[in-house]
Structure 1
Amino acid sequence: MTGLILTGTSIEESQQAQQMAQQWPQYCYSTAGVHPHDAKSVEDFTLPDIRALAATPEVVAIGECGLDFNRDFSPRPQQEAVFDAQLALAAELNLPVFMHCRDAHERFLDILRPWRTKLPAAVLHCFTGSEQELKECLELDLHIGITGWVCDERRGTELRDIVHLIPDNRLMIETDCPYLLPRDYRPKPKSSRNEPQYLPHIASVIAQCRQQEAAEVVCNSRATTQAFFVIGPPETL
């Protein structure tokens, strides 16, 4: 493992992620954003706290932001407004966005589409959608994050069938830690907590689906991630 991206999902957690990344410069980086679950807590849509964090060298993207119409922990109009505000901030600051979408594909694209050409890059993390949804995301030049969901014997069936459609330079392998422990990992871990140590297994499953060598998938994903977030050893930038 050559580094970590620590994801911010609220103002408080974004601050914690930035402070943690600060302790391991050029190894740990962070994002700053408000997850749709926490959108209800936002009152100032200029997002001054996120803006301040984005000015620090540790923060390499805005997010995790987006829509979650599955659990609706925040009212949908509030989710949409906060997502749009974060896209506007990312465009202003020329930062990539790290995005979440669950059961909201059409509305998600409706809000994102006007901003897409103003953003340097955008990734839909933890993709679990259909083939048609994947094609529509790729048409918008999105990067696609794949997690341990692809290892789930039942729920990951469709994803395993379509993961080969993602170009090498758009595929990013991730954990979504502490969630989505690869269910097929053996011996079965004692803890259900997902960790970066399981990424090689996820990469091997993806490689089988794509008919590639695991080392090639890992190398491509690392290079894609470094280019997306503009991170890595100085000689690689």
Structure 2
Amino acid sequence: MLIDIGANLTHDSFDRDRGEVIERARAAGVGRMIITGASREHSPKALELAKTHPGELFATAGVHPHHASEYTEECDIEMRALHAHAEVVAVGETGLDYFRDFSPRPMQRKAFERQLQIGVDTGKPLFLHQRDAHADFMAMMKNFDGKLGLAVVHCFTGTREELFDYLDQDWYIGITGWLCDERRGAHLRELVKHIPANRLMIETDAPYLMPRNLQPMPKDRRNEPMYLAHIAEEVARDRGESLEAVATATTGAATAFFRLPG
């Protein structure tokens, strides 16, 4: 059974059929999912959704850099309260995003630092985001050397140099359907071969990042966790491995990383 380590199932595009989406994922071999909490609004929703499917759904709690301007003292208290729940298995989504700059960069760095401290205080793994901010991202992580637990760079889309910087830190790597995008993700076909099996995880980032080579292509272009199997097949082909080997490795890595039961 596969584990989708990043699904935004609290997104309003799932409001009409969230239960069916979960059922379709289950039928497609996705046994467990980590629901991404990426804002003050959606982190509590991720926890509540996880509570409705014990042992199958889990949550993260954090504030994405796009929403960093909402990271106040009250927000920090709210995030820490969420992390008191066992269903919340990672800190984040947090990090830096200089590509869109939806929040000012100083605010992004402050929110990131506060959430890294939550990681220190809770001992929970980190669910990280980085886009066009590699130097500052690495510098901030270095400030917490020896204090943090495990970390995954979720939805990796970066360069070879970035990948090996992360692997040198023993961080995990999350691969999405970006791999299937011949316009932007072709370089990942080669890079994915270099990720150690015990640090490779897969995710859909649903409803975003629909694999572009999926056939037939859904009319609404909404990505779903059931398409994780397609991503696993693409990763297996690029690594020259069987689907079973990739499924076993990624499920084992995710189970260990998030400390999931079983």
- Provide TM-score, normalisation by structure 2: 0.87
* Structure 2 residue 167 is matched with structure 1 residue 138: yes
Aligned residues: 233
**How big is the alpha-carbon RMSD for the aligned residues of Structure 1 and Structure 2?**
1.1
Change (3 A) 1:188 1:74: same
Q: Is the 8 A contact 1:161 1:209 kept in 2?
A: yes
Q: State the one-letter code of the partner of 1:133.
A: E
Instruction: Indicate the structure whose relative CO is greater, using CA pairs within 8 Å and at least 6 residues apart.
Output: 2
Q: Is the 8 A contact 2:172 2:201 kept in 1?
A: yes
* Alignment correspondent of 1:229: 258
CA deviation string 1:19-73 (max 9, x = no partner): 1111111111100000001100112188110000000111001100000101101
Q: Which residue among 134, 137, 143 is the counterpart of 1:105? A: 134
2:187 counterpart (158, 171, 174): 158
The yes-or-no answer on 1:78 pairing with 2:107 is yes
**Cα displacement string for residues 130-178 of structure 1 (whole angstroms, at most 9, x for unaligned residues):** 1111000111111000000001112111111111000001101001111
Relative to structure 2, which stretch is displaced further, 51-60 or 188-197?
188-197
Q: Is contact 1:65–1:86 with CA below 8 Å preserved after alignment? A: yes
Partner SS for 2:41: helix
Q: 8 Å contact 2:40–2:75 — kept in the other structure?
A: no
Give 1:55's aligned residue.
84
- How has the CA–CA distance of structure 1 residues 84 and 45 changed in structure 2, closer, same or farther, with 3 Å as cutoff? farther
1:24 alignment partner in structure 2:
53
Unaligned residue ranges in structure 1 (runs of 5+): none
Q: Which residue of 1 aligns with 2:225?
A: 196
Which ranges of 4 or more aligned residues in structure 1 deviate by more than 4 Å? none
What 5-or-longer segments of structure 2 have no aligned partner?
1-29
User: What residue is the counterpart of 1:12 in the other structure?
Assistant: 41
The amino acid of 2:237's aligned partner reads Q
CA distance in 2, matches of 1:212, 1:113: 34
1:191 is displaced (CA, Å) by: 2.0
Q: 2:243 aligns with which of 214, 217, 220?
A: 214
Distance 1:75 1:226, change over 3 A: same
Q: Whole-Å Cα distance in 2 between the matches of residues 200 and 34 of structure 1?
A: 28
Maintained 8 Å contact 1:113/1:140: no
Aligned-residue offset at 1:204: 0.9
User: How big is the shift at 1:232?
Assistant: 2.9
Report SS of the residue matched to 1:169. Answer: helix
- Amino acid across the alignment from 1:119: L
TM-score by length of 1: 0.96
